[in-house]
Amino acid sequence: QVQLVESGGGLVQAGDSLTLSCAASGVTFSRYTMGWFRQAPGKEREFVAAVRYNGRTYYADSVKDRFTISRDSAKSTVDLQMNRLKPEDTAIYYCAADQNLILSSLRTPRLYKTWGQGTQVTVSS
């Protein structure tokens, strides 16, 4: 059974940094595309970043140059380093995984089969 567990959320001030981590179990991690999504109150879940099995990374325009996604296949973890945080980054952040995503599908939440429980990130102004 595939499981994803996020950690690292919290309350920070604008301009601060935070690192989220997602630990995967029950998967052949190296074959999976791993994504981070977020959902703010009253809004739809949106793509943040993804890293494919080959290590290539993809970002939403809103976080490009501030966030960095990375994977450690030896530990089966994927991290999201978030710098220069803004109040609009406040949301629940979710880790997601899927083995069969094509490149054009990386940004679509409903196409990921496995999700973590989410971790809250709150950025105060």
Fill in the amino acid letter for 31: R
How confident is the model over 79-93, as pLDDT tens digits? 999 999 999 999 999
> Which pLDDT does position 28 carry in this prediction?
83
> Which pLDDT does position 122 carry in this prediction?
98
Q: Which residue has the higher pLDDT, 27 or 42?
A: 42
Instruction: Please list the helix, strand and coil fractions of the chain in percent, rounded to the nearest 5, in that order.
Output: 10, 50, 40
The distance in angstroms from the start CA to the end CA of the chain is: 40
Per the structure block, which two tokens stand in for 36? 């981070």
> Which pLDDT does position 104 carry in this prediction?
87
